[in-house]
Amino acid sequence: MDALPMPYEHADERSPLLSSDQSPRPSRQCLRSCMQMCKPGSYVNLLIVFVPLGITAGFLDKSPALVFNLNFLAIASLSKLNNRRLCRLSAVLGPGGGGLLYALFDNAPLLIVGMAAIQNNSIRVIQSCILGSVLANLLLVIGWCFFIAGIRHSESNFSTSYASTTSSLMIVASSALVVPSALSEAQCRVDDDCEEALVRVSRSVSIALLVLFATYLHYRLRSHRALFMDPFDALSNRPMAELFWIGMAEAILLVGNLALTSMSAYFLVRTLDAASDTRFISDRMASFVLLPLATDGPSRLGAIVAAYQNKMPKAMDFAISRSMHVALYVAPVLVLFSWAIQSRSPMTLHFPTPETISIFLGTLLLAEVCRDGQADYLEGAMCLVMFMILSFSF
């Protein structure tokens, strides 16, 4: 199983990007990067075959259930490959550019699925997907990380400064969801024309959240870099020409990966309603559990493996950062994207009241269990039980 990929960590230290005695050639580097996808021993490579199968089934108008299942597995593999390409390209760009690239494109599969859902006027689908992604990272992933690390290791620590900073940002993000919900509860009961007010408030809040996200990136990547994980700049000693071809190859593969993700996401969202119209699974459960599992699931296993290896800083950085990026970046961008394309059903930050309460409670529990900077299995069990309790409402 692959180790947890981090923004500045070399994607695969066992196979260098280029041998020191070889001259950099674009064709050779592209071939080497492509072969990384086919490397045996990685569970995600078993799913690559579903990418062409899912897209082909969608174009041929096969049964909705078949198209949905094939593209679900395809996006699961593409999300893992997207993370791998980002890690390698970030190593080329260095701490500043690599960190910015990773922050903007780490959740690209979820962002692409959200854009496809908005174009399909499936607003409730992407709202449930955002909620499921945030809660799964905050409670499910951190719960398993704490539980496994607490049982396997007598002591497992992480930075309290980092956990405190990111938990505070999550509280701000969850509070931003309360404002549209409170407006809906207070005004929509007496005013049938409050929908426009909700849209305006959501767009204003989205812009504010993006400003906060940009401030956080400056805080993390420049002014207070020491509070976070040390950047790994393994390629800084390579010749500039070599770095150029490495970066070009990884960038081309990243663009191709995102293009395939867009096609799979289109067919996935288009067949979601028909595929989930069964007695076994509802559309809300599919969007709350299955879609976040496809876009984030493979990387979440890497976080749990890192906790098993007593690398809690890596595990915490993945789980909390991924949740924070979804709340501060993905959700606002989707609101503004809906505004830009003038979708028939505008995307807003107005989540149903139970879902808003779920995010807020999950954030408060996260802040409490991270306060002492130590992981134990009891706190992990609390997070897992909280996730189960909140999931029962779906």
What is the distance of C-alpha 166 from the center of its chain?
A: 16
Residues 6+ apart with CB under 8 A from 24: 18, 239, 241, 242, 244, 245, 246
Region for residue 63 given its phi and psi (left: phi exceeds 0; alpha: psi -120 to 50; beta: otherwise): beta
Using alpha carbons, select from 173, 134, 113 the residue that is nearest to residue 334: 113
* Structure tokens given for 267: 């067919």
Q: Quote the CA–CA distance of 173 and 362 in Å, as a whole number.
A: 12
Give the Å distances, CA to CA, from 392 to 181, 196, 354, 362, 388. Answer: 21, 32, 12, 14, 6
The burial class, CB within 10 Å (0-12 / 13-18 / 19+), for 240 is exposed
Q: Quote the CA–CA distance of 305 and 249 in Å, as a whole number.
A: 29
pLDDT tens by residue, 148-183: 998 988 778 887 887 788 888 888 888 888 778 777
Tabulate helix, strand, coil % of the chain (nearest 5). Answer: 75, 0, 25
Q: What is the pLDDT of residue 190?
A: 52
> Do residues 142 and 319 make contact, with C-beta atoms less than 8 angstroms apart?
yes
pLDDT tens by residue, 270-280: 888 777 765 56
Q: Terminus-to-terminus CA distance in the chain, angstroms?
A: 31
* Structure tokens given for 242: 């070599």
* Statement: residue 24 has pLDDT above 50: no
* Statement: residue 327 has pLDDT above 70: yes
pLDDT tens by residue, 343-387: 888 898 888 777 888 888 888 898 888 888 888 899 999 999 999
Q: What type of residue is 72?
A: F
Q: What is the pLDDT of residue 11?
A: 40
* Structure tokens given for 63: 């049964």
Confidence of residue 243 (pLDDT cuts 50, 70, 90): confident
For the chain, give the percent of residues with pLDDT over 90: 15
For the chain, give the percent of residues with pLDDT over 70: 80
CA dihedral 219, 223, 229, 230 (to 10 degrees): 150
Annotated domain spans of the chain: 26-391
Beta bridge partners of 374: 157
* Statement: residue 305 has pLDDT above 80: yes
Report residue 203: phi and psi, to 5°: -70, -40
Q: Quote the CA–CA distance of 8 and 167 in Å, as a whole number.
A: 22
Q: What is the pLDDT of residue 317?
A: 83
What count of residues does the chain have?
394
Q: What is the pLDDT of residue 28?
A: 52
Q: Quote the CA–CA distance of 310 and 250 in Å, as a whole number.
A: 30
Q: Averaged over 255-260, what is the pLDDT?
A: 90
pLDDT tens by residue, 62-103: 888 889 889 988 988 888 888 888 888 887 777 777 778 888
DSSP 86-142: HHHHHHHHHHHHHHHHHHHHTTHHHHHHHHHHHHTT-HHHHHHHHHHHHHIIIIIIH
Q: What is the pLDDT of residue 43?
A: 59
Number of other CB atoms surrounding residue 165 within 10 Å: 19
Q: Quote the CA–CA distance of 279 and 357 in Å, as a whole number.
A: 28
CATH topology of domain 26-391: A middle domain of Talin 1 (1.20.1420)
Q: Quote the CA–CA distance of 384 and 158 in Å, as a whole number.
A: 20
Q: Quote the CA–CA distance of 100 and 71 in Å, as a whole number.
A: 29
Using alpha carbons, select from 145, 136, 133 the residue that is nearest to residue 369: 145
What is the distance of C-alpha 202 from the center of its chain?
A: 22
Mean pLDDT, rounded, of the chain: 79
Q: Averaged over 41-49, what is the pLDDT?
A: 68
Q: Between 231 and 320, whose confidence is greater?
A: 320
Q: What is the pLDDT of residue 259?
A: 92
Report residue 180: phi and psi, to 5°: -60, -35
> Do residues 177 and 332 make contact, with C-beta atoms less than 8 angstroms apart?
no
Q: Which DSSP symbol is given to 136?
A: I
Q: What is the pLDDT of residue 340?
A: 93
* Statement: residue 127 has pLDDT above 80: yes
Least confident residue range of 220-234, 236-250, 288-302 = 220-234
Q: Averaged over 230-247, what is the pLDDT?
A: 62
pLDDT tens by residue, 284-301: 777 788 888 888 776 788
> Do residues 291 and 265 make contact, with C-beta atoms less than 8 angstroms apart?
no
Q: What type of residue is 109?
A: P
Q: Quote the CA–CA distance of 132 and 122 in Å, as a whole number.
A: 16
* Statement: residue 307 has pLDDT above 60: yes
Q: Quote the CA–CA distance of 370 and 388 in Å, as a whole number.
A: 20
